[in-house]
Structure 1
């Protein structure tokens, strides 16, 4: 009996894999980090079918007239890279679109704004330097550094393997210029939410910003000093925990990529306590609204 149940479970897994592998429809991969970010997009999709692969639920369907595969990356860099690569391996992914929330870094931005950077950096990729005197950290020798240190932390370039004979060092991972151009065309026409379902409203109407820099790393940031460093060192508009990892996977696979991130908080620059718990759903909905307009504007 136990053997039979094991074989049935194995057959179910293989069947799911086969269905995904047999899906040759070119699809836009629409990714979010955690469930509340994906709610609005899944509700808007039609002709939905789900396949579970290694614990991740992939939903194929149609969004704004375009074939898509919707899924959660999971939070943080490793999860995001792993699930994105799995989607590329199992589906015919033509483009990658990330939709989610982020912390605002640029002092000119506020909660609810949606930012679509031209490029993403992995700002926590770094050398933790030796303290050779109290409060003084020796710069690491022989490392391709990418900016000024934050205490003992010296940011460095990321090693990328795209050829079997040599590793490439990169500070930035680009969004696709053609996709950025589409984002610019639709940015001004999207109505963004200003108030939460509970009736708490932002002081100013949010807006869409296309261009500039975003950074990602394995930490939720609620620290004013680190926020100021990320802005001055990387000229970053936003920081999150996934986008740069997805951008790296997209680059290696030659797949066009873009990320839309709406600010749920200011990463330590909030006027009081961190606001993510209050505004994460508003921010998620604003990002989803821009993504839907963007997908609708994409050529078939």
Structure 2
């Protein structure tokens, strides 16, 4: 066996006893602005770094948690979720963050807690023919295409048995029931701390579909296709990756995504720069209420 490098050896010696001390709820956000509110209310916070990734343990809304950033993109989200599951005793995974709204009935500031998640950008780029776009005979798609985009399913291995090919990865039904209870009692903010205000009262929507892909969405045509093809309410860049890793590890998962923008559906420039803070606060507020409502 090769000797450990001094830094790695010290990390293992100092961190290992504390990592799996108690069962914890993983509370994730994609990037820094999304977890500021969560950190502010964290009690008995202790920080540790694993493979360059910062994890903060403590108590939030009366529950033992570990807070960390997934990083933006599907690969980062999958990597950090598995890293957390490998080093902590995690019994639930909760994601708090912002998203783009693709359901025309929703509004900026609303929070969506989708019942299942799929990867819209897991795709085959089809050849253009004289009559449109056509996949090779050895490929197929369960969904209508958008020009050259033919969305594919994903084959995932788990301890359930043979690898399974699927598109949708579910949120945990028991966690969704708690989210429904909390949604009825939580009033979301309509103004941010820097006085960016909405002309409507944001609402919580539990159920329906969410989709993810490693592309920032700001395109009206693709937004319409995503809504009509996947019956999706929101689009983001991480949730399905986390849902897939949680499914493969058989750990309950739920994601709270607040709309910072309309993914290309607005009349002018993308709205995220204006309403990101408001959306982040609304998602975090609901997550904290959700944690408090969870049974011991």
Give the TM-score, by structure 2 length. 0.95
Structure 2 residue aligned with 1:217, among 210, 213, 217? 213
Q: What does 1:93-172 correspond to in 2, within 5 Å? A: 93-133=90-130, 136-162=132-158, 166-172=162-168
- Taking structure 1 as reference, are residues 255 and 144 closer, same or farther at Cα in structure 2, changes over 3 Å only? farther
Contact in 2 for aligned 1:146/1:171 (Cα 8 Å): no
Contact in 1 for aligned 2:159/2:248 (Cα 8 Å): no
Contact in 2 for aligned 1:20/1:51 (Cα 8 Å): no
Runs of 4+ more than 6 Å apart: none
Give the TM-score, by structure 1 length. 0.94
- Specify the SS of the correspondent of 1:239: strand
Structure 2 residue aligned with 1:69, among 63, 66, 73? 66
CA–CA distance in 1 between the matches of 2:100 and 2:86?
31
What is the CA deviation profile of residues 54-77 of structure 1, one whole-angstrom value per residue up to 9, with x for unaligned ones?
Answer: 111100100111100000000000
Matched with 1:3 is none
Matched with 2:7 is 9
- Specify the SS of the correspondent of 2:216: coil
Matched with 2:38 is 41
Give the gaps of 5 or more residues in structure 1: 1-5
Deviates more, 1:209-218 or 1:140-149: 140-149
How many residue pairs get aligned? The number is 293
CA–CA distance in 1 between the matches of 2:158 and 2:5?
38
What is the CA deviation profile of residues 84-139 of structure 1, one whole-angstrom value per residue up to 9, with x for unaligned ones?
Answer: 00111100000000000000000000110000000000011111111122x61113
- Specify the SS of the correspondent of 1:188: helix
RMSD across aligned positions (CA): 1.6
